[in-house]
Amino acid sequence: RAEKTEVLSDDLLQIERRMELVRLVSHNTHKRLVSCLQGQLGTDTEKRHRKLPLTTLSQTMQESGGLLGEESLIGRMMDACGEAESRLASELMQYEVQIERDILDPLNQLAEIEIPNILKLRKQLAKLVLDYDSAKTRWYQATKSNNQAMAARVDSLKDEMDEALNKVEICKDQLSADLYNFASKDGDYAHYYVMLLEAQADYHRRSLAALEAAIPTIQIQQDSWTEKPAFGTALEEHLKRSNREIALPIEACVMMLLETGMKEEGLFRIAAGASKLKKLKAALDCSTSQLEEFYSDPHAVAGALKSYLRELPEPLMTFGLYDEWTQASNVPDPDKRLQALWVTCDSMPKTHKANLRYLVKFLAKLAQDSDANKMTPSNIAIVLGPNLLWAKTEGTLAEMAAATSVHVVAIIEPIIQHADWFFPEEVDFNVSGMFSMPTHPATPDSEPSLDRKRPGSQAGQDGDSLTPRKDRYLSRPNLSLWQESRGPVVSALYVVADESVTVTETPTEDCPSPDFKAAP
């Protein structure tokens, strides 16, 4: 390569090499596939049908059958075969139109536009690296020079070097995101060839049995190694495809934050750089294990975690339980409110409950460092709650956040406050074993003497076992929510999917509002 310094990681260099090969094979496949077609590319269907050899054969056979007449067996057969050939010509025309639309055009787009654009960005990065190396050399020579004129230029040369380095970082982040996106779409590109076989199976009906035997085998092999991107994929599907208990973005982000983000002020509230966040999301979608560079940017990690939760087709706390969560948060009595929240939590689907438990345990650990990071359970609930639960209604995400945010905070805050009561089991955050153990010290149980009984977990002597009993919690006055009857008081700016909405409820005189301050 032309540049002196290699700024891309090994996995990115490997993706780049594979990308150049994909371009070559896509170009060759496109060229050979075009030569297999009998129609003219880019023409309308009527003209294409008329120019097909099968259409000419059909017309000749039907005309010949008409000359021989109905009395001739040969004539009747030629006429019938001519009609069959006409139907075959129609099938062939539709098949070739489908091939051009679904396979040839995407292959051409990939080989002639998408990959060349990435390679163009790679060349731009190489030029910027050369500029940086040159600026660095000039600065270094100036610092070592005894020439006063050269020494006077040290500061300006340092600024030039820093500016050149900044340009390199921006270009590198964009190129890295493009390369990771390319790698994450590997299955989509491979699917073009499966679609070709499927189209051929539809056209070659007499050979359908043999083709159907081959296509499922190819499809199974593809599904066995292709993992859809985690972002935007249903939780159950992602866990099934990846054979995981905890979603990869959740575990990866939690492990990185445990290492470097627990003392970071305003975590989940301060926005990260767009290019760094895009790069991290693309890396997680690609399931890369090289995430070391992101440990130094906990706000990008927190932003990726929020994005994953927000982009789930169904919220982590589920659409089906939205009404139950809301009703539980509106129970006037604080002890019964906690019981109602626990009952709803206990009825969550297994996968959703496991991931919520994992996340809540982490958020409770984060809140224990609130003196440093300023993220109390109230503040965490305000900024993260709308990404955990929202109503299944029409409208923008911002409108949904406005409609549900007050209820959501009333649900999330007590769950974080009493995480060890809702989920008494210990959590091994490195559940998959993929990450190094965090050096952040373990936090003690905030309520070691808390009664571990749950509503309906054991039959009481004075009532049915399925009826939540308030007297189990009256001995724990600190379980009460900080507002008796109206739920939490919220005044905050929510940023959801690039849309902002302000939600305000005026606190009563005897109920202090949370100390969260919205980011400008």
pLDDT in tens, 373-430: 899 999 999 999 999 998 887 555 555 555 556 778 889 999 999 999 999 888 888 8
Encoded amino acid at 353, one letter? K
Question: Comparing 334 with 221, which gets the higher pLDDT?
Answer: 334
Question: Comparing 46 with 160, which gets the higher pLDDT?
Answer: 160
pLDDT of residue 74: 72
Question: Comparing 41 with 63, which gets the higher pLDDT?
Answer: 63
pLDDT at 452 over 70: no
Q: Which two tokens stand for residue 520?
A: 């400008």
- Identify the three-state secondary structure at position 387: helix
Average pLDDT over the chain, rounded to an integer: 76
Of 277, 268, 422, 444, give the one whose Cα is nearest residue 342.
422
As to burial, measured by CB atoms within 10 angstroms (0-12 exposed, 13-18 middle, 19+ buried), residue 456 is middle
pLDDT of residue 395: 54
pLDDT band at 358 (very low <50, low <70, confident <90, very high): very high
pLDDT band at 365 (very low <50, low <70, confident <90, very high): very high
Confirm if 342 and 381 have CB atoms less than 8 A apart: no
Rounded to whole angstroms, the Cα distance separating 350 from 236 reads 10
Q: Which two tokens stand for residue 244?
A: 């995981």
Helix, strand, coil percentages, rounded to 5, for the chain? 65, 0, 35
340 secondary structure, DSSP code: H
Domains of the chain plus CATH, in order, are: 10-225 (1.20.1270.60), 235-422 (1.10.555.10)
Distances (CA, A) of 295 to 105, 299, 485: 40, 10, 42
Reading phi first (left if > 0) and then psi (alpha if -120 to 50, else beta), residue 248 is in alpha
Q: Which of 29-38, 150-159, 287-296 has the lowest average pLDDT?
A: 287-296
pLDDT of residue 482: 35
What average pLDDT does range 279-283 have in this prediction?
Answer: 88
Rounded to whole angstroms, the Cα distance separating 261 from 273 reads 16
Q: What's the start-to-end Cα distance of the chain, in Å?
A: 45
pLDDT of residue 239: 87
Rg, C-alpha atoms of the chain = 32
pLDDT tens-digit series, residues 461-486: 333 333 333 333 333 333 333 333 33
pLDDT of residue 174: 92
CB atoms within 10 A of CB 151: 13
Confirm if 33 and 18 have CB atoms less than 8 A apart: no
pLDDT at 499 over 70: no
